[in-house]
């Protein structure tokens, strides 16, 4: 081959490759952003200063909100962790799959490997995908064997890489898992778990803190509780650095602010509401580390950052351990985790599922505040629309494309919204500003449905069910159509009396 001609051909090929790379990069920046989903644990609607908190300051979350859209009516699917994460990842309400209540540390992978997930969809769109932090969706097969390769796991459902804590900080095992192996595990000191041990029993203590279940072995692999936030921030930033040359999706799921709360010494005393508030400040620091990394790499303008939480907040203790809960003595100082909302984590009041939700993408999103009704179950379909991906038939059955709401151009969002508790029922159901609790408001003597107009009763205090029987009946039927449960008669919204209850037995 003529050397000069060969060089000219090579030059043309390199030029064409460069043009393609530039075109891909332009497309990436303009229409296919990097996606960083920061998913807090137990951060409530009133826990961030951009949502009204006054006894704890969150400047990094605040600057994210100031540059993006801050949503005031955004919801998790469930009021506890595992079902919220399942719905987020699969686009399917968790109540539809048996066994998606709060998972133990030895639960097998809850998401079938043939399901389309948020990660697998974005991977199909050419994204590098990684998860860092809390997983709590099961690993391997039941019961999980942590002394062998742990499969299936995140990499079998769409993630290229994983650095995770398997379940929660208050459940054994207390180890990090990288991809499919426990980090620093010594084969001569295998992990042994016993879930018959209750938190607070002598055998439940790991690192001096009581856990749910007991763990022996794996000594060299144990995490350090007061360094968990530092590790999660570091590993998240490392993924961003490694993936900066192509579109990437990072699911950064923090342990903060779940119990046990063991903030790093640098954060102790940084809030006015005790150890729980200090853990919020620590969470905010993680957010700041991610935002600073994006800034340093020049990626802030081409990255969609979504910040939310897996359920509402709660002033809880680590079982019998108050020091790593709300403090001993209680240091919450009157801070309301869910602001003006009624209820907490674990309930289907608004305080159980209405959570902070912020979207920043400077290239497309204008800063502002949105009252659109938003559900995390819709992230899969919305990001599929953004990246031009088709969702296979039968997959993500409950996820809907509400990209316009996420970008701040649709002020309405969903018309209806389902809220579930741990295993499904009791449910809450929204239709616009109206909220139905089919099982009532929990007051003594109650038992009939409860209906609230959140437009003028955000705290869910004025039960209008008796005055609005037709609305109760219509919303009950709508909920039944989603859940597959028979709609109970609702024409008489009052609780049945004793004589009537005896007749029904």
User: Which residues participate in catalysis according to the annotation?
Assistant: 81, 136
CA-based max dimension of the chain: 102
* Whole-number Å distance between alpha carbons of 470 and 85: 35
Residue 439 and residue 448 in contact, taking contact as beta carbons nearer than 8 Å: no
Tell me the residue length of the chain.
505
All residues at 6 or more sequence positions from 348 whose CB lies less than 8 Å from its CB, including other chains: 79, 419, 420, 421, 426, 427, 428, 437
* Whole-number Å distance between alpha carbons of 40 and 277: 14
Residue 298, CA atoms < 13 Å, CB-side half-sphere? 2
Phi and psi angles of residue 437, each rounded to the nearest 5 degrees, phi first: -115, 100
Q: How far is CA 220 from CA 231, 360, 399, in A?
A: 16, 40, 42
Residue 181 and residue 164 in contact, taking contact as beta carbons nearer than 8 Å: no
All residues at 6 or more sequence positions from 504 whose CB lies less than 8 Å from its CB, including other chains: 496
Residue 107 and residue 138 in contact, taking contact as beta carbons nearer than 8 Å: yes
First to last CA, the chain: 94
**Crossing angle for the helix pair 274-296 and 228-243, nearest 10 degrees?**
20
State whether residue 393 is helix, strand or coil: coil
The string of DSSP codes covering 217-234 is: S-GGGB--GGGHHHHHHH
Residue 173 and residue 166 in contact, taking contact as beta carbons nearer than 8 Å: yes
All residues at 6 or more sequence positions from 385 whose CB lies less than 8 Å from its CB, including other chains: 401, 403
* Whole-number Å distance between alpha carbons of 436 and 430: 6
Would you state the structure tokens that stand for residue 213, as one six-digit string?
């279940």
Hey, CA dihedral for 300, 303, 307, 310, is it positive or negative? negative
User: What residues are paired with 370 via a beta bridge?
Assistant: 71
Residue 471 and residue 425 in contact, taking contact as beta carbons nearer than 8 Å: no
All residues at 6 or more sequence positions from 27 whose CB lies less than 8 Å from its CB, including other chains: none
Angle, CA 195 vertex, CA 191 and CA 201 arms, to 5°: 100
Residue 451 and residue 468 in contact, taking contact as beta carbons nearer than 8 Å: yes
Helix, strand, coil tally for the chain in percent (to 5): 30, 15, 50
* Whole-number Å distance between alpha carbons of 204 and 322: 15
């Amino acid at each position: 081959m003529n050397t000069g001609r060969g060089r000219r051909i090579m030059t043309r090929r390199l030029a064409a490759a460069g043009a393609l790379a530039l075109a891909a990069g332009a497309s990436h920046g303009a229409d296919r952003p990097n996606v960083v989903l920061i998913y807090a644990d137990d951060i409530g609607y009133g826990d961030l200063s951009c949502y009204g908190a006054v006894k704890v300051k969150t400047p990094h979350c605040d600057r994210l909100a100031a540059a993006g859209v801050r949503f005031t009516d955004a919801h998790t699917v469930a009021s506890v962790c595992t079902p919220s994460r399942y719905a987020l990842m699969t686009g399917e309400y968790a109540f539809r799959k048996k066994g998606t209540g709060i998972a133990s540390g030895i639960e097998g992978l809850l998401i079938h490997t043939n399901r389309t997930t948020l990660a697998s969809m974005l991977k199909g769109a050419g994204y590098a995908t990684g998860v860092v932090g809390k997983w709590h969706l099961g690993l391997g097969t039941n019961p999980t064997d942590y002394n062998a390769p742990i499969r299936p796991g995140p990499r079998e459902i769409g993630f290229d890489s994983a650095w995770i804590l398997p379940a929660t900080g208050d459940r054994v095992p207390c180890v990090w898992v990288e991809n499919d192996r426990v980090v620093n595990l010594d084969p001569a000191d295998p992990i042994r778990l016993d879930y018959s041990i209750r938190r607070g029993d002598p055998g439940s203590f790991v690192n001096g803190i009581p856990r749910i279940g007991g763990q022996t072995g794996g000594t060299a692999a144990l995490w350090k509780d007061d360094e968990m936030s530092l590790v999660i921030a570091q590993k998240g930033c490392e993924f961003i650095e490694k993936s900066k040359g192509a579109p990437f999706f990072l699911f950064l799921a923090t342990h903060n602010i779940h119990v046990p709360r063991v903030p790093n010494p640098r954060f102790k005393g940084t809030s006015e509401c005790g150890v729980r508030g200090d853990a919020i400040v620590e969470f905010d620091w993680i957010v700041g580390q991610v935002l600073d990394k994006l800034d340093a790499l020049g990626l802030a303008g081409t990255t969609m950052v979504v910040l939310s939480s897996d359920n509402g907040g709660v002033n809880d203790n680590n079982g019998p351990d108050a020091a790593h809960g709300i403090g001993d003595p209680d240091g919450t100082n009157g801070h309301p985790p869910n602001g003006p909302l009624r209820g907490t984590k674990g309930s289907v009041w608004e305080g159980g599922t209405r959570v902070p939700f912020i979207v920043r993408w400077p290239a497309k999103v204008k800063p502002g505040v949105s009252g659109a009704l938003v559900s995390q179950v819709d992230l899969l379909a919305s990001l599929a629309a953004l990246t031009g991906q088709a969702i296979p038939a039968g997959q993500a059955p409950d996820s809907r494309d509400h990209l316009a709401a996420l970008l701040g151009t649709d002020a309405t969002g969903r018309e209806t919204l389902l809220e579930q508790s741990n295993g499904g029922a009791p449910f809450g159901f929204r239709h616009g500003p109206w909220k139905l609790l089919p099982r009532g408001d929990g007051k003594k003597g109650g038992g009939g449905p409860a209906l609230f107009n959140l437009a003028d009763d955000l705290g869910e205090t004025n039960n209008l069910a008796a005055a609005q029987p037709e609305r109760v009946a219509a919303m009950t039927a709508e909920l039944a159509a989603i859940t597959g449960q028979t709609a109970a008669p609702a024409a008489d919204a009052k609780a049945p009396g004793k004589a009537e209850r005896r007749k029904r037995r």
